[in-house]
A and B are shown apart, each in its own frame.
Chain A
Amino acid sequence: MAQILSPGTQAPDFTLNVTPDQKLSLHELQGKPVILAFYPADWSPVCGDQMALYNEILPEFQKYEAELLGISVDGAWCHAAFSRDRNLHFPLLADFEPKGAVAKKYGAYRKKDGFAERALFVLDPEGKVFWSYCSPVAVNPGADGILQALEDLSLKRNNNEPVESSSFAK
Chain B
Amino acid sequence: MSPLKVPVSLNDHIQGDENALVTLVEYGDYECPYCGRAYPSVKTVQKHFGPQLRFVFRNFPLTQIHPLAEPAAEAAEFAGSRGRFWEMHDGIYENQERLSLPLLFELAELLCLPQEGLRDAIANHEFLPKIRKDLQGGVRSGVNGTPTFFVNGVRHDGSFEFEGLVSAIDARMLESKARVA
Contacts and interface: CB of A to CB of B under 8 A. Distances in A.
Contacts of A57: 135-136, 139
Nearest to B145: A48
B144 A50 contact: yes
A56 B145 contact: no
A50 B142 CA distance: 12
B143 A142 contact: yes
Nearest to B144: A142
Contact of B34 (A47, A52, A88, A89): A47
B26 interface: no
Given A47-B34, A47-B145, A56 B136 contact: no
Interface string B132-147: 0001100111111110
A141 interface: yes
B33 interface: yes
B136 A53 contact: no
Interface stretch (B45-53, B60-68, B92-100, B116-124): B60-68
A87 interface: yes
Interface string A54-80: 011100100000000000000000000
Given A47-B34, A50-B144, A87 B139 contact: no
Nearest to A55: B64
Chain A interface main SS type: loop
Nearest to A151: B140
Contact of B32 (A47, A139, A142): A47
B99 to A, nearest CB: 14
A147 B138 CA distance: 12
B74 interface: no
Given A46-B65, A53-B62, A87-B65, A60 B145 contact: no
Most buried by A among B61, B135, B136, B144: B144
A147 B5 CA distance: 13
10 contacts: A48-B146, A50-B144, A53-B144, A57-B135, A87-B65, A140-B144, A140-B145, A142-B139, A144-B2, A147-B139
Q: Which 4 A-B pairs have the closest CB atoms?
A: A48-B145, A142-B144, A140-B144, A87-B64
Interface of A: 46-50, 52-53, 55-57, 60, 86-89, 139-144, 147
Given A47-B146, A52-B62, A144-B140, 7 more contacts: A47-B32, A47-B62, A48-B144, A52-B64, A140-B144, A143-B144, A147-B140
